[in-house]
Structure 1
Amino acid sequence: MQPPLLLINMRSAQKHRHLAVAGFTTVELMIVVAIMGVLTAVAAPSFTGLFASQKAKNVGSELFFSLLRARSEAIARNANVTLAPTVGGNWQQGWKILDPASATTILDSHENSTGTTIAGPISVVYDGAGRVRSGTSPMFVITAIVGTSTSYQCVSVDLGGRPYQKKAPTC
C-alpha cells in the first residue's frame, strides 16, 4: 500500500523547509539599505552638537588636570610653578608647566586639538602654598566648533588655587 500523496508532500516540505527560510532576497536587502540611509541622513546633523560638546569638554578636562598638576608641583616643591601657553600668549597651540628651578625645563606639556579656541590669561602662577599669585581668578573659555554647532567649556581657578570646570554658553 502506498502512503497518501498528502503525507509524501508534507515529508518533502519538511526536508526542504530550511531552504525556504535560509536567507533574504536582494530586494529585501536593498530596502533595508535604503531605510538605513534615510535614518542616517536624519540622525547625522544632530551628532554635530554632541561632537562639539565632547571636544570642548575634552580640552577643558586636559586644561583642568594641567592646572591641578601645576598646583601640586608648586606645593610639592614649595616654589612658584607656571602654567603658560606653549607659543607666546596663544593657548590654541597648547600649554606647558615650567620647572621653577629652570625656566627652560618643561615638567609637562599638552598640544591643543584642532577646531577649538582657548581664551585665557597670559599665564597662571601658583605659589608654594598652591594659591594663585595674580590676585585675580584666572578664567579660560574653550570654544569648540563642529559644523554649525558651537559648544563652550569654562575652566576657572579660585584664589585658593582650586580649578573648577563647567559647561556654559558664557562664563
Structure 2
Amino acid sequence: MKSFHRPLRRPRIDQEGFTLIEILIVIAIVGILASIAAPSFNELIKSQRIKSMATDLNSSLTLARSEAIKRNKNVTMSPVTVGSWQDGWQIADPDFAGNIEVHSAFTGLTATGPDSVIYRSSGRIAGAAPSFNISATGTTAQRCVSVDLSGRPYIKAAAC
C-alpha cells in the first residue's frame, strides 16, 4: 500500500512592520515639514506674547482706573524702569505706603508709552490720552493700547 504523503506546507506568513527604508523616508518627510513650519511657529509665539502684554497692560490700566474711583484719589501707573514699559510697571496711590500692583517684565518685547499715566478720582486721565505701542523684533505683529477720553483703555491690532 502506497501512501501519498505530501509534505506539510507552512502557510506563508506576511511580514509585519516597516522596513528601514520606509522609516528613513518618513523621517526625512517629517524633517522637511518641520523646517517649513518652524519660522511661522516662531512668528506665532512672538505674536501671542505681544497680544499677552497688550492684554496685561489693558487690565492694569483698568485696575488703576477702578482704584482711583474706589479710593477717590489720584492713582499713578508708571514703568518700573523709567521709560521702559517692557521691564514691568507698577500702580501706586501716592498716599499709600507701597504699590497697589507690580507687574513683571516681558523679555524680548519693546513697549513705548508715556512716562506715567495718572488717573484722577473721576476715572479720567490727567493730561493727554496715552498710547502704548508694543512690538517685537523679527515680526510685523504690533498692538496699540490706548486710553479714550473717558479713561477706558482699549486694544488695537496695529501700531499707534
Q: Does the residue aligned with 2:121 lie in a helix, a strand or coil?
A: coil
Matched ranges for 1:2-151 at <5 A: 9=9, 12-13=11-12, 16-17=13-14, 20-21=15-16, 23-102=17-96, 104-134=97-127, 136-145=128-137, 148-151=138-141
Tell me the alpha carbon deviations over residues 72-101 of structure 1, each in whole angstroms, 9 at most, x when there is no partner.
111111111110011223212210001342
Q: Does the residue aligned with 2:86 lie in a helix, a strand or coil?
A: strand
CA drift of 1:111 comes to 1.9
Structure 2 letter corresponding to 1:46: S
Structure 1 letter corresponding to 2:11: S
Given that 2:87 and 2:107 are in contact with CA atoms closer than 8 Å, whether structure 1 keeps it comes out as no
Distance 2:4 2:69 in 1: 99
Q: CA RMSD in A?
A: 2.1
Q: Does the residue aligned with 2:140 lie in a helix, a strand or coil?
A: strand
CA drift of 1:48 comes to 2.9
TM-score between the two structures when normalised by the length of structure 2: 0.88
Structure 2 letter corresponding to 1:157: V
Distance 1:2 1:158 in 2: 102
Matched pairs, number:
158
CA separation of 1:4 and 1:50: change in aligned 2, threshold 3 A: same
Distance 2:89 2:4 in 1: 91
Distance 2:115 2:84 in 1: 8
Distance 2:115 2:139 in 1: 28
CA drift of 1:3 comes to 9.2
Structure 2 letter corresponding to 1:133: A
Q: What is the identity percentage for the equivalent residue pairs of Structure 1 and Structure 2?
A: 46
- Residue 154, structure 1, aligned to residue 138, structure 2: no
Given that 2:76 and 2:117 are in contact with CA atoms closer than 8 Å, whether structure 1 keeps it comes out as yes
Higher helix share: 1
Distance 1:157 1:31 in 2: 55
What residue ranges of structure 1 are gaps of 5+ in the alignment? none
Tell me the alpha carbon deviations over residues 128-161 of structure 1, each in whole angstroms, 9 at most, x when there is no partner.
1211111x1110001112xx32321100001211
Given that 1:59 and 1:112 are in contact with CA atoms closer than 8 Å, whether structure 2 keeps it comes out as no
CA separation of 1:2 and 1:55: change in aligned 2, threshold 3 A: farther
Moved over 6 A (4+): 1-5
